[in-house]
Structure 1
């Protein structure tokens, strides 16, 4: 199984905003069969994630691997690092230069360099799902199964409000990554999730509520492993998801996507709401028959896609049906 960090270069790249980059490094990891020998599943990571989807620090070990939902004896799993996420040492100086569609275009160019002309699936949670939408709109015949999880094809007004607040914290706080992370956790989880876990209990050692010590811990933990420039960039990408920008109305753009579209919402998601997903399915179903909606039931909100692995496996088991994959 190959899993070392590999590198290619995207040259002479111009972003939507007009910024020109002579070279953009694109790093990636491959798990399972070598590229070209099995159906490819592209996994897009979320805000603080990276290409290490499985392994010692793998963030989706429960779903990907030997005899898992996405079986690495059946599928080749490919994961790019969003350029600027810092995992490969590359940082973006001017994060405002980039939108989610730019990342999708970089991924599209990377796939071409790797001689990948089709994807069995493109799956991603949160901003990774938004980039999956952008990739599908950019290259409508590329993907057989598009699977955005806890995500959407656009940044809603609620999302824009939250990313604005995050940007203000990241640019004005004296402890930006720490403080922005604490605020973000209030959208990633729910009041019921907090109550179920902490219920106003006290951390006697610190003399504060356990919810407070937990949030402070998460703030420090991210500050210790994630760079400010990376957080600013990924937050900017979250604010810029929109497959209709400078194109046409949603139905006209999305109806051209040939993929089976499998939307996975979370009933308690406060970030990318399930209602937005349901409205997308309802609208798109008027012009496209291969659109499906699944819902994770959880008190944990947006983060449920990183918690409710058993549900995700059951919801998507028919998509990754090994018996239907050609040998």
Structure 2
């Protein structure tokens, strides 16, 4: 596991003009020292963190020595969204969680990279919320990324996403058991009826009052409640509905066409949260003017969570991108 380190962001001004001093940005590094290999930034999802590789890394099937994103060849950096609590500290900003946007987080991640003397990135990859922040980072600095890889996400929050974020916020602010209840609801967005049917088959153990599906949902609710703080959940959930790289631009195409990175949009065919049709339309639209945007699709019955389950398919999709590691594709500041 890469050692958890801290950068102090001394002057962070949000989109709405709020100023924050001395914000701690916690991060981890995996692989070679910064400046000696191409840099890959990995952005975590809603309940994720910077621990992306190693024994307990949540994406260790993809990232590590001799893995698809090979830490023999790439320096992997992962930041924690301030307020996610992985560091054991809960910044004051999470008490005003509706003041913040995904673009704010993208800006602070760029400030973190500058503090590490990293100017350009070989790739940014992120799933779900992390992928939305990746889009925002590319929009902010469209010439500094070689490969943008948003997975099971979108460049904007659709009405469907906004609606479900609102429901989650209602649960988080009104339930007597908010973290567990919100997580139970969220799990039904992350999976599919087919996935749950295959897994549980309407079974109820003899002598039990609950169906297996109910026990499974309760387990996930309790599991998150034991490791996540309410204020963190409120912030992370809220950020999902703020993703929109077209804000302050004439159109999505106008800002996306400025992005020089190879864009690899990866969707899940059964995703009920970030539906694949939105991603297909995005790619189809941009292919009218860009030759370096590509659409890939994970085939799975598991829905949104397939990006955390179908590692073999995801690995096959991104392997060609990371086979270019011998090219001189990184630059650091002097």
The TM-score with structure 1 as length reference comes to 0.97
Deviates more, 1:252-261 or 1:241-250: 241-250
Give the deviation of 1:226 after TM superposition.
0.6
**Equivalent of 1:152, from 140, 151, 154?**
154
Q: Distance in 2 between matches of 1:203 and 1:94?
A: 44
Give the equivalent residue in structure 1 for 2:332. Answer: none
Give the deviation of 1:207 after TM superposition.
2.1
Q: Distance in 1 between matches of 2:225 and 2:117?
A: 37
2:96 is the alignment partner of 1:90: no
Q: Distance in 1 between matches of 2:58 and 2:250?
A: 36
Unaligned runs of 5+ in 1: none
1:232-262: CA deviation from partner (whole Å, max 9, x where unpaired): 0000110100001122200000000000000
Give the deviation of 1:204 after TM superposition.
3.4
Contact 1:25 1:90 survives alignment (8 Å):
no
1:60-107: CA deviation from partner (whole Å, max 9, x where unpaired): 010000110000000000000000101112332110111000000000
Deviates more, 1:52-61 or 1:146-155: 52-61
Q: Distance in 1 between matches of 2:328 and 2:320?
A: 15
Unaligned runs of 5+ in 2: 330-334
Give the deviation of 1:205 after TM superposition.
5.5
Give the equivalent residue in structure 2 for 1:27. Answer: 26
SS in 2 for 1:59: coil
Contact 1:43 1:79 survives alignment (8 Å):
yes
Q: Distance in 2 between matches of 1:323 and 1:233?
A: 36
The TM-score with structure 2 as length reference comes to 0.95
Alignment of 1:169-208 (within 5 A): 169-204=171-206, 206-208=208-210
Q: Distance in 2 between matches of 1:205 and 1:153?
A: 48
Alignment of 1:1-327 (within 5 A): 3-88=2-87, 89-91=89-91, 92-204=94-206, 206-322=208-324, 324-326=326-328
Q: Distance in 1 between matches of 2:328 and 2:12?
A: 36
**Against the structure 1 CA distance between its residues 323 and 108, is the aligned structure 2 distance closer, same or farther, given a 3 Å change threshold?**
closer
Give the deviation of 1:322 after TM superposition.
4.8
1:25-72: CA deviation from partner (whole Å, max 9, x where unpaired): 101000000111100000000000000001232100100001100000
Give the deviation of 1:14 after TM superposition.
1.2
Give the deviation of 1:19 after TM superposition.
1.7
Equivalent pairs, count = 326
Q: Distance in 1 between matches of 2:288 and 2:269?
A: 23
SS in 2 for 1:208: coil
Contact 2:38 2:325 survives alignment (8 Å):
no
**Against the structure 1 CA distance between its residues 316 and 280, is the aligned structure 2 distance closer, same or farther, given a 3 Å change threshold?**
same
Q: Distance in 2 between matches of 1:280 and 1:323?
A: 28
